[in-house]
Amino acid sequence: MNHVFETGKVEAEMKAAIDAFNKVTWDSQDATHILGITCRAQVHKIRQLSRVFRGCRVGVRKWVGPLMVLLPLLLPSVAPAQQSASKTETSSTKLMALSGNSAKEVPNRVTADPSYVIGPMDVLDISVWKEPELSRTVPVRTDGRISLPLLNDVQAAGLTPTQLAAHLTESLENFMTVPQVTVIVATMNLQRIYILGDVTRAGAYPLLPGMSVLQALSNAGGFTEFANIKKIYVLRQENEQQVKYAFNYKDVISGKRPEQNVVLKAGDTIIVP
């Protein structure tokens, strides 16, 4: 009698499991997996009982057939759920890469020489990520400024592309969250002068109309403590020859040698020894 009761208990458990499965849509991977484990355990239990009670009137075998049909339907459902989770993870990884969360926010692109100084008549490609209305190609005017939406006139001449991108990013933070700005010099105006030697910021600088030696030196951030400011000179190519012009900084600023403060030409090089 106890054997019949035990078998009847199993029969009731399996009937409840099948009824529950028929009433519920199993969208959860975990729930499907649990039901599959439950069914396999009950099949094993039924087989053990059936070997002992082969002649039992309860008819244990009638549950084995439905369960063997049910299990193949349950087990494949786990694979699509795993594939879906894998696809979701892959999509999430790609999204992080695009949004810049996996590394720093999309890095600013610059010209090959990061020390290049933007000058008048250069043409700049300004790109604001995911903001096509703010992205455009703009020329640098003769006053050294560019015009952009929201920001109006912005000083560009005298800055490197990296510096300008940082300035634009900071300014756009008043209008949007985490702006990312790219600055590329699309076309370079070749009107340049060069300042070398003991100055704070040596390099190439845009030649502004009427720029003198003194004005050019002011762009270089001043002299180092080792500079010989009495022996400055300007090198210029004239008639396929190199000409040297003396410039005594102290005499010029004191008004003794104003003629040394010559107007620069494209390609002139100022040397501060």
DSSP string, 60-115: THHHHHHHHHHHHHHGGGHHHHHHHHHHHHHHHHHHHHHHTTTSSSSPPP--SSTT
Rounded-to-integer distance, Cα 135 and Cα 225, Å: 43
Q: 91: pLDDT confidence band, cut at 50, 70 and 90?
A: very low
Q: What is the pLDDT of residue 90?
A: 44
What SS3 state is found at 185?
Answer: strand
Sequence-separated (6 or more) residues with CB below 8 Å from residue 20? none
pTM of the model: 0.37
Higher pLDDT pick, 108 / 3: 3
Report, as an integer, the average pLDDT of 243-252. Answer: 96
Of the given ranges (17-21, 120-124, 169-173), which has the lowest mean pLDDT?
Answer: 17-21
pLDDT digits (tens, 9 = 90+) for 108-150: 443 446 777 888 888 999 999 999 999 999 999 988 899 999 9
Q: What is the pLDDT of residue 65?
A: 57
Amino acid letter, 90:
T
Q: What is the pLDDT of residue 110?
A: 39
Rounded-to-integer distance, Cα 237 and Cα 29, Å: 78
Same fold, 123-187 and 192-272: no
Q: Going by DSSP bridges, is the β-strand pair 145-148/203-206 parallel, antiparallel, or unpaired?
A: unpaired
Q: What is the pLDDT of residue 161?
A: 94
The domains of the chain are located at 2-96, 123-187, 192-272
Measure the CA angle with vertex 57, ends 56 and 58; round to 5°.
90
Match 């500079």 to its residue by tokens. 227
* Domain 192-272 grouped into CATH 3.10.560.10: yes
Instruction: Specify the CATH class of 123-187 in words.
Output: alpha beta
Supply 65's token pair: 């057939």
